[in-house]
Amino acid sequence: MRYISTRGTAPELSFADAALSGLARDGGLYVPASWPKLDAAEIENFTGLSYVEIACRVLAPFMEGSISDAELKDFATQAYKTFSTPEVAPLVKIGDNDWLMELFHGPTLAFKDVAMQFLARLIDHLLQQRGGRITIIGATSGDTGAAAVQAFRGSEAIDIFMLHPKGRVSPVQRRQMTTALEPNVHNIEIDGTFDDCQTIVKRLFQDLGLRDQLSLSGINSINWARVVVQAVYYFSGAAALGVTDGKVAFSVPTGNFGDIYAGYIASRMGLKMDRLLLATNVNDILVRTLASGRYELNEVVATHSPSMDIQIASNFERLLFDIFNRDPARINAAMTSLAENGIFSLDDTAIADIRSRFAGFRADETETLAMIRDLHARMNYQADPHTAVGLVAAQKAREQGVIADDVSIITLATAHPAKFPDAMVAATGIRPELPAHMNDIHTREEKCASLPNDADAVAAFMRNHAAILGNGTSV
């Protein structure tokens, strides 16, 4: 499979090169040149297969030409061994036709592990094959950084530098990063906000000298390999219910449009489904876009579901590319308008097309906490605040008749409640417990550098510590 950029001028790449490059050189995102299809009989046969076997069948056509079937199977097997259940994404019944899909049984207790554990093995393999090294840099508000550090710790050909805002991630999130003492892991707390961290990372990517010197690479959800790996659990969820006639909908707590776009990938590959329910907190740019056809930036508001406190939903560009009949000129026009005026508008055909596949619902803070409280009271189940946003969307979709009663709704449970104890206490008065293997996280040794909010200081630190320059020393 070949990969093309949504902006039309970056070179076509193989799967391997797209996985290693992240953002395209023209500023666009890589997408497959065409959508591979699985036939209905094959999808029906997924019922009864293991998660790893389903992953191999779903991912093989995307990796063709770069990764053999045996290698793919090996990455998936190794990646999902780190999960505390072999089902990887087990379903829990919470109503007549309502289910949760628990995606938080990986090492850092959020769904980011599902793709990151796979990606680490894939990238390690590609670098071993090519004999090179790369330097990964990222900014995190908590979950992505934790998943990336846990996945890449100890990798021989990779240094990872992860920036987080000092004092603004939860203690569990911080310690999932800082207790990785391996010399290739470099955590940096920045005296600033998450936006400051992200601005520094963007500046370092624009510093072409540094970019080439360190072979900089990104692992957020603009990386195609990361998003496509998430398509697997839409298939496994439908297979577990044995529903192949389209009478299943998914409710997806959304920030960067990555996880829900993975649901769209599954649908383009032939998985029959009812609408994808796009669930946001009060940072609702995507819900507003579905309602008005206008994608318009607003202020970011801090909520109980911080991993969705986002305004620029990067992966939306991948959906628009298809909606615009894969015409890069239309993508460029929309993105220029967004950069210059903070807004772009969709025509009636485009918006109707999006609405045929997606329905958007927003949950405010009161609704989110009430949902956590009600589910706990009804079933003694603790849903984390991100998951609760998805449950509110599912409930509204039923109440408004958007999803019929005979259609199953699977809501994606994206994090373990123990990652967000303050919200859980606010909703239920109960502090959820961490799984036993994480009991000692609050007493383990930490390693973290502390730097001012200054891109030059971070660049200097990276040059001093990156193994690619022969500086393999630990912080």
Q: Given the rule CB under 6 A, which residues bind ligand PLP?
A: 110, 112, 143, 221, 253-259, 307-308, 386, 414-415
For the CB of residue 218, give the shortest distance to ligand PLP in the complex, in Å.
14
For the CB of residue 223, give the shortest distance to ligand PLP in the complex, in Å.
12
Which segments of 307-454 does DSSP mark as H helices, in order? 316-323, 328-341, 348-357, 365-379, 385-399, 421-428
Q: How far apart are CA 377 and CA 374, in angstroms?
A: 5
30 residue type, one letter: Y
For the CB of residue 438, give the shortest distance to ligand PLP in the complex, in Å.
16
- Which residue out of 81, 112, 202, 272 is catalytically annotated? 112
Q: Which residue has the tokens 């417990």?
A: 433
Q: List the structure tokens of 449.
A: 């550098």
Widest pairwise Cα distance in the chain: 61
For the CB of residue 216, give the shortest distance to ligand PLP in the complex, in Å.
22
CA distances (Å), origin 241, targets 46, 53, 97 = 11, 17, 10
Q: Which residue's CB comes closest to ligand PLP?
A: 258
Q: How far apart are CA 51 and CA 49, in angstroms?
A: 7
Q: How far apart are CA 273 and CA 244, in angstroms?
A: 8
Which of 148, 96, 192 has the alpha carbon at shortest distance from 455?
192
Which of 158, 81, 63, 162 has the alpha carbon at shortest distance from 117?
81
**Of the two residues 24 and 279, which places its CB atom closer to ligand PLP in the complex?**
279
Q: How far apart are CA 5 and CA 8, in angstroms?
A: 5
For the CB of residue 112, give the shortest distance to ligand PLP in the complex, in Å.
6
**Of the two residues 192 and 253, which places its CB atom closer to ligand PLP in the complex?**
253
For the CB of residue 194, give the shortest distance to ligand PLP in the complex, in Å.
13
For the CB of residue 170, give the shortest distance to ligand PLP in the complex, in Å.
12
Q: Is 112 known to be catalytic?
A: yes
**Of the two residues 22 and 255, which places its CB atom closer to ligand PLP in the complex?**
255
Other beta carbons within 10 angstroms of residue 223's beta carbon come to: 24
319 in Cβ contact with 257 (< 8 Å): yes
* Paired residues of 339 in beta bridges: none
Q: What is the DSSP letter of 282?
A: S
**Of the two residues 152 and 257, which places its CB atom closer to ligand PLP in the complex?**
257
Which of 32, 80, 35 has the alpha carbon at shortest distance from 53?
80
**Which region holds residue 464: left if phi is over 0, alpha if psi is between -120 and 50, else beta?**
alpha
375 in Cβ contact with 100 (< 8 Å): no
**Of the two residues 112 and 465, which places its CB atom closer to ligand PLP in the complex?**
112
* Paired residues of 163 in beta bridges: 139, 188
**Of the two residues 192 and 385, which places its CB atom closer to ligand PLP in the complex?**
385
| Backbone phi, psi, residue 66, to 5° | -120, -35
For the CB of residue 82, give the shortest distance to ligand PLP in the complex, in Å.
17
**Of the two residues 120 and 276, which places its CB atom closer to ligand PLP in the complex?**
276
**Of the two residues 179 and 254, which places its CB atom closer to ligand PLP in the complex?**
254
Q: List the structure tokens of 302.
A: 């801090």
Write out the catalytic residue numbers: 112
